Each structure stands twice: as C-alpha cells, then as structure tokens.
Amino acid sequence: MFDSHFHLTDARLITHPAVLQGEFAGVEIGADFECLPSIFEFADKHEQVYCTAGVHPAYANDYSPNDFENFVAEHLNFKKFVAIGECGLDYHRSDLPSREQQITVFNHQIHLADRYQKPLVVHSRDAWEDTAEVLIANKNKLKNGVLIHCMSYTAEQAQYLINQLSGIDVYFAFGGHITYPSKAFLHDTIRVIPLNRILLETDAPYLAPVPKRGEVNVPDYIRYSAQTMANVLNKTVDEIETLTTNNAYRFYKIKAAE
C-alpha cells in the first residue's frame, strides 16, 4: 500500500525494525529545514520512497526564505523530489510561532511551489479559517495541485474549500485519526470528497490508528486506516488500496495513474 505521508527518518523510526527490515512505499515528508539533506538521502537509498521539501509551521521561526529556496533550486533535478511541504498553519499549541510568522512562511512556500511547478502538501491543525483564506487568496498559485494532509475538518469545510478552489486539483489525505471514536465526524468528510481526490497516509511515527493507538506508528499500520475507509465508503480494502495509490501517484506525478 502506498503511504502518501510519513517521517521514517524520525529518530523513533530510523533504527526501528519496521524501517530497517520493512517493505514500504511512500513519500518521506520534509518538515524541518535542517533535516532535508537526510530526507533526500533516504529517498535516494530506497527504491519506492519519494521525498518533499518543506518547513512545518512549528519551525517557522527558523525559516530562511533564501536558504530554503536555494535548497529547492539545487535539488530540482532529483527525480524523487515530488512536492513542496509540509507547510501550513498549526494553532493547536500555544508554544508555536506566532500566527503572523506562520502565515508568512506558508505564503512563501506556496509561492515556491508555483515558481518551481511542484504540488503543495499542507498541514493545518485548529487553523481552518486562516488556512482556507490563505489558500483561496493564492488560488492562482495552486495550479500544480494541493493536498490537505491529515484532513481534520468537517464535511462542510471540505466542500467549501473544494468549491472555492474550483478548477484546482484539491486532494485530501486521511490517516489513523479516522479510526478514533472522537473523530468519527471525519467519516462524513470522507464521503463528500470526490473518489479521485482521496489519499491514505500514516504520518508515522505520529497518529497510530486503533488498535495500535499510543504506539509508535509504522507504515504497515496503514491497513487499519484502509479498513476504516473501506467501511465508510462501502468498498473492499483492495479497492481502497488501488484508489488511494492511483490518487497519490497522480497528485505527486510519480507515474501516470491507471
């Protein structure tokens, strides 16, 4: 199964048996500027792993627009470099950089995704209104596609964004949180998203699904989220695997979807 978002170079996973011996296919997501070289190296070493370059809002205070753009420009020829992100807004914790700083850094990465013709991976937590506002204001810079990773908003909010960004390829990825009883409202969100715009992810090592909740998440656990999505959409797990893998390939332009 193709995992559209993981962090296998995280200290909790890089020496974990699931990573050392495991078979996995997916996208290693850049979130911290300092870690980007090791992320690109990891993708280079693993045949079925691709990578992105991004700075998560938690690191917005350390963001250097010039250094980040130089990194992107210098790696454009690396064929496994598939997207800009994760970037976005996170208002969940009070110890994170200011909203103004997060928005500035988010805007700059949107600009680079357009400039270097890469799709954009968005992180948004407890920041729905500002996220929607920034994306809608930058609609003309999203022509390469946009993915809301770990989608955690309601069906109405998803529908609003899809409508406001009409003409743009807007994708949504779901992970272990769809198995949590407190997030059951996300099942309605899944149902309003067009079938060609839904992705699966683990966000490993974070967000392990039920029945592994609380453990370090690993790529293999994507099957629990796939099962939940299959139940919600009244499909088989095999159908969900084919659907979400093709959607991920299309979004990341990895190969032509069937």
Interface residues with Zn ion (CB under 5 A) are 29, 203
Least distance (Å) from Zn ion to the CB of residue 255?
Answer: 23
Of residues 205 and 230, the one with the C-beta less far from Zn ion: 205
91 vs 160, which CB is nearer to Zn ion?
91
29 vs 243 by CB, closer to Zn ion: 29
Minimum CB separation of residue 204 from Zn ion in Å reads 9
How near is the Cβ of 141 to Zn ion at its closest, in Å? 22
Q: Of 5 and 46, which CB lies nearer to Zn ion in the complex structure? A: 5
Select 29 or 151, whichever has its Cβ closest to Zn ion.
29
CB of 167 to Zn ion, least distance (A): 27
CB of 146 to Zn ion, least distance (A): 16
Nearer to Zn ion, 200 or 230 (CB): 200
Distances from the Cα of 87 to the Cα of 24, 30, 123, angstroms: 24, 9, 6
Beta bridge partners, 2, equal 25
Tell the smallest beta-carbon distance from residue 201 to Zn ion (Å): 8
Contact call for residues 208 and 176 (beta carbons, < 8 A): yes
